[in-house]
Every structure is written in C-alpha cells, then in structure tokens.
Amino acid sequence: MLNLYKEIDILKGIAIILVVLGHIELLYALDAYSQFRDFVYTFHMPLFMAISGYLYAKHHNKSLNYLSFVKKKAKRLLLPYISVMVIYYLIKYISSYAVGVNTPIELKSFLYTLFINPYGGFVSFLWYVYVLFLIYLIVPIFKKLPILLAISLGIYFIPFPSLFCLNMLSEHLVFFVLGLLIYKYLSKGNVVNVKYLMIPSLTLQILLYLYSVQHVSIIFDLMLALLGIVSTYSLSKLIADFKLPVLRYVGKYSTEIYFMHIIFLLGVITLFKVLPNGICGQIYVQFIVQFLVGVVGPLLFAMLLKTLKMKRIYQIIFGKNIQ
C-alpha cells in the first residue's frame, strides 16, 4: 500500500511537470518544442482526470449526504478557483496600466470567464478545476458504475458547446470514470504489473500521434489519451523502485503548482522581454529558467505561507489545510 501511495505521488509529479512544460512560452519559435507540447496535450489532462477519479473512489465518504459533499468540494475547488481567478485578473488589470497589455480585461469579461466559459477566457488553464467540480456534481448521482461509464463514453463523441465547459466535460468525464474503474479493480486485491509496458505503449503512442497529425479522428484522440495514461503510469511504477524524493515531493504539491505556476511563468516571460537579447537570447536558457521557476516558485510560495502559518490564506488560494 505504501508503494501505491508513492506511485500516485510520482504520477501526480509527472502530470504537473507536463502541465508546466506545456505552458512555457518561448520568445522565439521552436518547432521541436511545439511538437512536444502538442504531443503532451494529447494526454496530460486526461491523466489528471484519471488520477482525480482514482483518488475520489479511494477517499469518498459514502455516508456523506449529497449536499454536504458538494459543499466540501466547493470549498476544496471553487474557493481557490475564484480566488486565483481574481488574483490573475488583478495582475493583468494592474499590468495593463503599469507595463501595457494588449488585451486589458474588463470586469464584464472577467465575470463571463469566471462563471460561463473559463476555457475561452484569459486564464484558460483553470478550466480543469471548473470541470472537475461539475464532475463531482454528477458522479455521486449514479450508483451503478457501468451506467456512468456508458454515459461518459457516449457523450465523449458528442460535440458539445464550450459554454460552461460542456465540451471539456464531455471529453474528460470518461477518464475520471477510468480512474474509478482502476481503483475498483485494484481494491479487490488484483495486481497489475505494467512496468514493462512503458516502452511499447510510448512507442505506439508516438507512432499514433505522428499518424494522427495527418489523419485527425476523435477515436485517435481517445486512444492517444489512454496510451498516455498507460505510459506515464508505467513510468511511475518504474520510478517507484528508485529513491527519487524530489519527484514525489513535487507530486504532493501538484495542486499548489497548478494554481500558481502561470503567475511565475508570466513573471519570467516579462523579464525576458525587457532584458537584452544577449542575456536571454538562447532558447534553452528560456526553457530551463521558465521550467524551474514554474515548478520551484509555487513550492517556495507554499512553503512561505506554511512557515508564516497563514492557514486561512493557504486555504483560500489552494483549497487545502496546512498540514
């Protein structure tokens, strides 16, 4: 069981690192990075959804009534969602006057983004939190997992509108359900040895991705996401055999990194834009610095709040209690 906890933390660490890598913004176009980012985007959020489904199944208190459960999830997700959205709005609003921003945010568009369409707004990465809360509203209603699986598969192939992130909900519910199924299978004492699947699954994933670039298909999208989940889970199983506390530590703070990494990335990008080209002209320098700051910055910020015992602020921003 302890090893399983290690694998989950490592898996979360891999997932959040992929998120940060996918949000790096280079000042000069780099085809290799664009290809890598497009590849990562085929599976990194389905992976997060599968992890969320697994953890939900593992920790869900069935004795909790529906209203109490929703209230708990609102505190865990909606509170930091709104708080972080406000922080980003204030940063962009102030910077529009301080350094000049091409698209300053008006209050009306902010409220639209907050409640109606976060995916199409100025902080689009927060769609995951919005959709995860919607999933938590839906999943407890269904007592039979096969019915929920059938519905999630059915709506995956339906082109929903982007309003209320219905398109993202339909595309990701099936992976949350997959997490439920994985937990149900493992909780029965079944053992799945996927260590040696990483190379074949990753190879197949890359080949399918290269083929899908020219032959777009929703079936390929589903297969790429599933293969990506298998590849990263296999990788976490392999890494769990070695002592890599850093990756596990990053996984434990994946929530904090997710909510705050864009702020730190924006700070670095802004700095690169004002510095002479000789200092930041090298692409690899931009890439490495943004990645390190995007991961380490939120960690240091979280540690600072913990050190100062700012429990309330920590809960408002991250939806978690200081442990």
Q: How far apart are CA 183 and CA 151, in angstroms?
A: 19
Locus of tokens 């980012």: 37
The CA R_g of the chain, rounded to the nearest whole Å, is: 20
| Per-residue pLDDT, 98 | 55
List the one residue out of 91, 124, 84 whose CA is nearest residue 105: 91
Using the CB atoms, write b or e for 45-65: b if 16+ within 10 Å: bbbbbbbbbbebbeeeeeeee
| Per-residue pLDDT, 15 | 95
List the one residue out of 121, 134, 177 whose CA is nearest residue 152: 177
Any idea how long the chain is? 323
175, pLDDT greater than 60: yes
| Per-residue pLDDT, 167 | 95
Residues with Cβ within 8 Å of 179's Cβ and at least 6 positions away in sequence, in order, are: 49, 50, 51, 52, 53, 54, 55, 56, 57
Average pLDDT for 115-138:
90
Contact criterion met (CB below 8 Å) for 15 and 47: yes
Residues with Cβ within 8 Å of 248's Cβ and at least 6 positions away in sequence, in order, are: 6, 9, 10, 13
| Per-residue pLDDT, 99 | 53
**Percentage of the chain with pLDDT > 90?**
61
286, pLDDT greater than 90: no
Give the lowest-confidence range in 42-46, 91-95, 196-200: 91-95
Q: Please tell me whether residue 30 adopts helix, strand or coil conformation.
A: coil
31, pLDDT greater than 60: yes
Which tokens is 103 given?
A: 């698209």
30, pLDDT greater than 90: no
pLDDT band of residue 274 (cuts 50, 70, 90) is: confident
Contact criterion met (CB below 8 Å) for 133 and 78: yes
Q: How many other C-beta atoms are found inside a 10 Å radius of the C-beta of residue 113?
A: 22
Torsion from C-alpha of 185, 186, 192, 194, nearest 10 degrees: 100
Contact criterion met (CB below 8 Å) for 230 and 179: no
**Of residues 233 and 284, more confidently modeled:** 233
pLDDT band of residue 129 (cuts 50, 70, 90) is: very high
| Per-residue pLDDT, 315 | 95
Q: How far apart are CA 133 and CA 150, in angstroms?
A: 20
Which tokens is 229 given?
A: 């989940």
| Per-residue pLDDT, 2 | 44
pLDDT band of residue 12 (cuts 50, 70, 90) is: very high
pLDDT band of residue 287 (cuts 50, 70, 90) is: confident
pLDDT band of residue 267 (cuts 50, 70, 90) is: confident
Give the type of residue at 308.
L
pLDDT, the chain, mean: 88
Which tokens is 171 given?
A: 């595309």
pLDDT band of residue 1 (cuts 50, 70, 90) is: very low
| Per-residue pLDDT, 97 | 60
* pTM, to two decimals: 0.91
Would you list the domain boundaries of the chain? Answer: 44-191
Which tokens is 157 given?
A: 């192939």
